[in-house]
């Protein structure tokens, strides 16, 4: 039976679209089974994700809130790897973190939920979404992609990275962050 994995590009507000990507397959052979920007409410997101029953769901949003300051310790670690993140003191980021916590709580009884940041994933991995898709064996990516679809698909590719053995987790007491192995695309292979 194929493994299903999901990615969510969460919007800070339910007034805006959230991108969702679902892929399925086996090692080295993945295909997109759902890619949309149609979810708005937390309920919409939960129902859509539960309808596909993914083993892992990677979410583009902070899934924990900082105890102090603008960056959590986990973000400081990811920044050292070359990521570019916004501090959680900006109002839109506070809203995104609050929603991220809610969505994590809604989904975690049904799927493993991990935090990611798609543009940082691509930056740290050293590649484009097209190259990354090919490297991980995702074959049916349609183009052009909307921004929310693109970020949801990269988040789903992070979940694929766990199945392919090329994802890494960085974190500690205030959260965990999922990325792909630094420089994976510059090396040209994930074997």
Domain coordinates in residue numbering, the chain: 3-187
> How large is the average pLDDT for residues 18-28?
96
85-91: list long-range contacts, CB under 8 Å, 24+ apart. Answer: 85/117, 85/120, 88/62
E strand or H helix at 106, and its extent?
A: helix 91-107
Opening angle at CA 122, ends 106 and 102, nearest 5: 15
pLDDT recorded at residue 188: 52
Residue 6, CB-side half-sphere exposure with 13 Å CA sphere: 27
Q: Which CATH class is domain 3-187?
A: alpha beta
pTM for this one? 0.92
Report the chain's mean pLDDT, rounded to a whole number: 90
The conformation of residue 183, written as its DSSP 8-state character, comes to T
pLDDT recorded at residue 11: 95
- Return the bridge partners of 179, or none: 168
pLDDT recorded at residue 186: 77
Locate all alpha helices (DSSP H) within 17-90, ordered by sequence.
42-52, 73-80
> How large is the average pLDDT for residues 73-77?
81
Instruction: Give 173 or 34, the one with higher predicted confidence.
Output: 34
pLDDT one-digit tens code per residue, 78-136:
888 877 877 778 888 889 999 999 999 999 999 999 999 999 999 889 889 999 999 99
Per-residue buried b or exposed e for 86-121, using 16+ beta carbons within 10 Å of the residue's own CB: eebeeeebbebbebbeebbebbeeebebbbbbbebb
Q: Confidence class of residue 10 from pLDDT cuts 50, 70 and 90?
A: very high
- pLDDT at residue 189 greater than cutoff 70: no
């Amino acid at each position: 039976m194929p493994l299903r994995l999901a990615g969510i590009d969460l919007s800070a507000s339910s007034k805006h679209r959230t991108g969702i990507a679902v892929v399925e397959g086996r090692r080295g052979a993945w295909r997109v089974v759902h890619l949309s920007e149609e979810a708005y409410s937390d309920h919409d997101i939960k129902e859509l994700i539960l309808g596909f029953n993914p083993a892992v769901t990677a979410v583009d949003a902070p899934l924990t809130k900082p105890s102090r300051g603008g960056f959590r310790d986990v973000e400081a670690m990811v920044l050292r790897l070359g990521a570019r993140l916004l501090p959680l003191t900006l109002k839109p980021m506070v809203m995104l973190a609050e929603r991220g916590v809610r969505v994590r709580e809604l989904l975690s009884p049904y799927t493993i939920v991990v935090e990611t940041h798609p543009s940082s994933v691509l930056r740290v991995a050293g590649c484009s979404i097209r190259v990354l898709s090919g490297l991980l064996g995702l074959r049916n990516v349609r183009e052009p992609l909307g921004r929310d679809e693109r970020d949801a698909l990269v988040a789903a590719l992070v979940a694929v990275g766990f199945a392919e053995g090329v994802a890494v987790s960085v974190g500690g007491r205030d959260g965990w962050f999922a990325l792909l192995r630094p420089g994976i695309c510059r090396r040209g292979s994930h074997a």
